[in-house]
Structure 1
């Protein structure tokens, strides 16, 4: 095997046009790591946001989610073998995912679900973990509670809806009209067309809101005193503090963290048929700019995938 690979590199922030496909050395394998030949990568909003607005030390390999096959294991690795098909989300402070090969610690990966392809599996890690951690770690969602999930047809939202229903919650969602039927089929109890209706005038006394579209102030209006709000985009700190003081509403913004144990629980639900994957579009390595532009438009149903 050659010691060279191709990777998608960002050398300058501010534009997707700054992305380049370059040849570089395959990363060195440390004792606690595995070397993975990447099959596909999940495309996430943070990918284009980081390119446009910064946040990582330049130059860097873009991307986080991977699926692929273990090629080689480090001397200290015991849980994986060459030939294992795996999924995972890489630590952002290390090598990115959009490359032909990656190395990663075994705490960031696990074996892929047996009932889906490697390409499909790339849709799981970041979106699935973001939904899981937002619902259960931060919102602490319980059976019988009422939750509003914004953008429920998006990559994170479609996981969040299914996980909330699996937990036994009453789930209201916002989405464009074209996505209503699929969301009802996944168990949504109320579906609101955000383009023609004001959800804050329809919903009241909810226990929780999961927000991925920065609908902050109106979202607070649907919560009962003591309710919880989580955002994966923006949050108004002054308003959050005021509502916390006046109504006991707990509001937080968060970014997911790689967690193989939680990812294993998500994978188990997929293998049991409790969670369905939705792939909107598939792009190829050389189409990375078009792929990120499409992701940036924000109208995907489910996840977009990059084939390496």
Structure 2
């Protein structure tokens, strides 16, 4: 089969399209013929080696985390899916490889594709959908009547987060450029801040939750300050915490390292009486199935900026890295 591989960790080296062996499946896996794959900034960070200390891959390896496709083979112990099922997934860590024609996926990482959307739309959902679900539902426990600040509302995570937060009954503030104001308002944003001309820290006060996705230290510090007491920042960009290291089973030296990396922000959060959490989302088919129900009921709609041909996967990654995408970017494989 054809696949795009990472030959070595590098920010400069492009993925290489090559012929590789078809995947084999275990008794708990299914083989999926991939129709579409979502493209995420995480794919670039994995290629660059940003996470190789705690999430190592032995090069060469196939990149890509999101996909939608059709099951062509099932393992002996698979009970929830059958050949011919249309499925989608954010495949598990250490089992990535969706920039390819086929992939073996653990049964527990899969969900049936929503019936009312296309393969391209389905491929755009899993990583951002699970990220938002785990941030707002699992960690923050966002409730009706609470206030949430979602940074970068027109991006892949932001467009999904606004819709889920509104479904949960929250008041939603977000940042975007003036060009994207209409988009985020159409998704349900109540208060839109133009990040180019306005300072969110001077406008927002007493928020319950912040979904943080910016890499600037000042943005993180300001995010803590706009919370009410016992409010929660869920950060997608870090710094990682000792709790995160323990959760994924890292040895004590990594826990110490991550404690040092996050000491400053955890100290500031404690002083303000608020909570800081780092989220590195995990594959979870059961949560994805709940997201399927929201999509099929029309509560959440996928937002796609562009779909690239499979051969232009590197161009798709470059476009995502530019930060200009409105919603998600996908590649069409079949």
Q: Distance in 2 between matches of 1:79 and 1:241?
A: 42
CA drift at 1:247: 2.3
Q: Distance in 1 between matches of 2:210 and 2:73?
A: 43
Q: Which runs of 5+ in 2 are unaligned?
A: 240-260
Q: Which runs of 5+ in 1 are unaligned?
A: none
Supply the RMSD in Å over aligned alpha carbons: 1.3
Does the Cα contact within 8 Å between 1:175 and 1:192 map onto a contact in 2? yes
CA drift at 1:245: 2.6
The DSSP-based 3-state class of the residue aligned with 2:20 is: strand
1:212 corresponds to:
213
Does the Cα contact within 8 Å between 2:5 and 2:63 map onto a contact in 1? yes
Does the Cα contact within 8 Å between 2:92 and 2:283 map onto a contact in 1? yes
Q: Distance in 1 between matches of 2:207 and 2:283?
A: 29
Matched, 1:42 2:67: no
Matched, 1:142 2:146: no
Counterpart selection for 2:226 from 182, 198, 222: 222
Assess, with a 3 A threshold, how the Cα gap between structure 1 residues 239 and 120 changes in structure 2: closer, same or farther.
Answer: same
Show CA shifts across 1:67-96 (max 9, x none).
000011111122211111110111121241
1:89 corresponds to:
90
Q: Distance in 2 between matches of 1:224 and 1:143?
A: 16
2:330 corresponds to:
305
Matched, 1:23 2:19: yes
The DSSP-based 3-state class of the residue aligned with 2:162 is: helix
TM-score (norm 2): 0.88
Q: Distance in 1 between matches of 2:166 and 2:141?
A: 14
Correspondence 1:241-280 to 2 at 5 A: 241-280=266-305
Show CA shifts across 1:90-127 (max 9, x none).
11212411110101111111110010111211011000
Assess, with a 3 A threshold, how the Cα gap between structure 1 residues 248 and 128 changes in structure 2: closer, same or farther.
Answer: same
Matched, 1:33 2:52: no
CA drift at 1:42: 0.6
When structure 1 is superposed on structure 2, of 33-42 and 17-26 the one drifting more is 17-26
Does the Cα contact within 8 Å between 2:93 and 2:282 map onto a contact in 1? no
The DSSP-based 3-state class of the residue aligned with 1:219 is: helix
Show CA shifts across 1:170-227 (max 9, x none).
1111111111112112221100000100010011111110011232012112111211
The DSSP-based 3-state class of the residue aligned with 2:192 is: strand
Matched, 1:101 2:102: yes
CA drift at 1:136: 1.1
Q: Distance in 2 between matches of 1:129 and 1:240?
A: 25
Assess, with a 3 A threshold, how the Cα gap between structure 1 residues 95 and 172 changes in structure 2: closer, same or farther.
Answer: closer
Q: Distance in 2 between matches of 1:139 and 1:83?
A: 37
The DSSP-based 3-state class of the residue aligned with 1:110 is: strand
Correspondence 1:162-241 to 2 at 5 A: 162-214=163-215, 215-235=219-239, 237-241=262-266
Q: Distance in 1 between matches of 2:3 and 2:177?
A: 36
CA drift at 1:60: 1.0
